[in-house]
Amino acid sequence: MKRTIVFRSVGVMALLVAAAALASDKTKSEQAFDHLASLQGEWQGIADGVNTTLIYTLTANGSTLMEQCRPEKGHEMITMFTIDGDHLIATHYCSAKNQPQMETPAISDVRKSLEFSLVRVTGLKSPDDFHNTGLTVIQEDNDHLTQEWSYQHKGKTGKNIFRFTRVRQAAS
């Protein structure tokens, strides 16, 4: 009887050690994605003077974080975040009817901010059309988020900064 209890205890400990080892075996990009996925839930802020809701949902068997941007006035936009090797990818489905695809540099450490730069953009009718060229996502803490979107339009560049506050955590 005592021997059975000892063997079970040792087995449980071995499982816990193995689970911890697997968790620590995540790549830097997987760790960065997990940190980004902590945004799941609902956020409120003002974007270009318009009350805006962001909803983050983990989808595709946990491989994609979907951001729904829902301005009170205007059109909804979607941004999909995924892992690609040692990078994170963001594809933005813009109300300007184009799709900038951006990526981070190789992830070497997990920080509170991620910088995405334009790789290519689909759906442009002309290079002068408005399109986003970059995104920085800054997670100040669990309840405060800043997005810095850079863009190009008619040969000129600019940046928009949006701040959001969490209003609802995602249901577990």
Percent of the chain at pLDDT > 70 equals: 85
C-alpha span between 163 and 172 (Å, rounded): 25
Binning pLDDT at 50, 70 and 90, where does residue 112 land? confident
C-alpha span between 162 and 150 (Å, rounded): 11
C-alpha span between 161 and 146 (Å, rounded): 7
pTM of the model: 0.84
Q: pLDDT, tens digit, for every residue of 143-158? A: 999 999 999 999 999 9
The pLDDT value given to residue 1: 55
C-alpha span between 31 and 88 (Å, rounded): 11
Cβ 144 vs Cβ 162: under 8 Å: no
- The mean-pLDDT minimum among 17-21, 37-41, 100-104 falls in 17-21
DSSP state of 80: E
The pLDDT value given to residue 3: 58
Q: pLDDT, tens digit, for every residue of 78-99? A: 999 999 999 999 999 999 999 9
- Half-sphere CA count of 119, side-chain side, radius 13 A: 14
Binning pLDDT at 50, 70 and 90, where does residue 165 land? very high
